Amino acid sequence: MDIDVDKLVKAGKIAGEARDLGASLVKPGASAREICEEVEGYIRRKGAEPAFPCNFSVDEVAAHYTPGLDDDVKLRGIEVVKVDVGAHIDGYIADTARTVDLSGVYEKLLEASKAALERVVSIMKPNIRVYDIGKAIEAEIRKRGYKPVRNLTGHTIDRWTIHAGTQIPNYPDRATFHKRLRPGTLVAVEPFATNGRGIVRDGGLVNIYSLIPRKPKYKLSEEEAEILSYIQEHYKTLPFTPRWLLEDFDKRGIEAAIRSLVSKGILYPYPILVEAGKGKVSQFEHTFLILEDRVIVTTCKECV
């Protein structure tokens, strides 16, 4: 991976602050849209860009919800809320998340994924086995009576690429037995814990997309071409949300263009991911920069 330590550390600091700002706004009566706009605005004011839309996934929604053009989530004060934030500077990305419990009864569920991430912080080192990370995560979650989510994983990160080649499962997956995290790797680790089945499935709703870098096979309308070049220029291949296009395009035009660009194979949709047993889901996440002789947890100021 192309490494710029200064930019990665700065992006990590901003992402961490934006995550904590978002979490501090999670209160009864608040809406996902208000909070996500604050989070994304904070990232921009600090001199970075969102690396993906602010994810605000509630209860059994494990990941990939962000407010859409029409939909929003208003908090009642009984929810388990995951705030998952990404920031980048010149494509150098940080990815981090935490969970807030408004219900007052899921503190232990949060503790399971939080303790799992803290274990990973304590064992992370150059050349660590991916298998050993998954083993530590699963152990911390199971001993608190919960299950890890098996089909949501951490991931290596490249410049301009949020999900690079290697997945970091939240359990000891035999397929990762010989895989090690070499110096020069940037990696996000994100334990998900649940009281449900431990599997997520496609929940249908899509408010996040990314550009598939290939030449369009089909002819585009003028408006589609205009929106496509806007996406290329502003987000490259990083995930974005149609909400961000409202500054420059009208809602009907955005909806039509997105629908068409998905059907033409130019945009990749990220549907919300919902726990298969309708279990509550908690998540904590940090980004780790693995160097020759040390590890920097870019999104954690307490971790040094």
Q: Identify the residue among 25, 36, 188, 211 touching Mn ion (CB under 5 A).
A: 188
Going by C-beta distance under 8 Å and a sequence separation of 6 or more, which residues neighbour residue 111?
A: 144
Determine which residue in the list 95, 140, 173, 275 makes contact with Mn ion, applying CB under 5 A.
Answer: 95
283 forms part of the interface with Mn ion (CB under 5 A)? no
Q: Decide whether 256 or 303 has the Cβ nearer to Mn ion.
A: 303
Size of the site for Mn ion (CB under 5 A): 5
101 binds Mn ion (CB under 5 A): no
Q: How far is the CB of 51 from Mn ion (least distance, A)?
A: 9
By the rule CB under 5 A, 84 interacts with Mn ion: yes
163 is catalytic: yes
Q: Is residue 132 annotated as a catalytic residue, yes or no?
A: no
Residue 41: Cβ-neighbour burial (10 angstroms; 0-12, 13-18, 19+):
middle
Residue 285 designated active-site: yes
Give the integer Cα–Cα distance in Å for 179 and 199. 23
Are 126 and 290 within 8 A, CB to CB? yes
Q: How far is the CB of 87 from Mn ion (least distance, A)?
A: 11
For the CB of residue 96, give the shortest distance to Mn ion in the complex, in Å.
6
Alpha-carbon distances, residue 196 vs 5, 109, 119, 211, 242 (angstroms): 39, 11, 23, 33, 31
Q: Quote the CA–CA distance of 297 and 232 in Å, as a whole number.
A: 30
- Cβ–Cβ under 8 Å, residues 117 and 189: yes
Catalytically annotated residue among 49, 59, 140, 190: 190
Chain residues binding Mn ion by CB under 5 A are 84, 95, 97, 188, 285
Q: Give the residue numbers marked as catalytic.
A: 84, 95, 155, 163, 190, 285
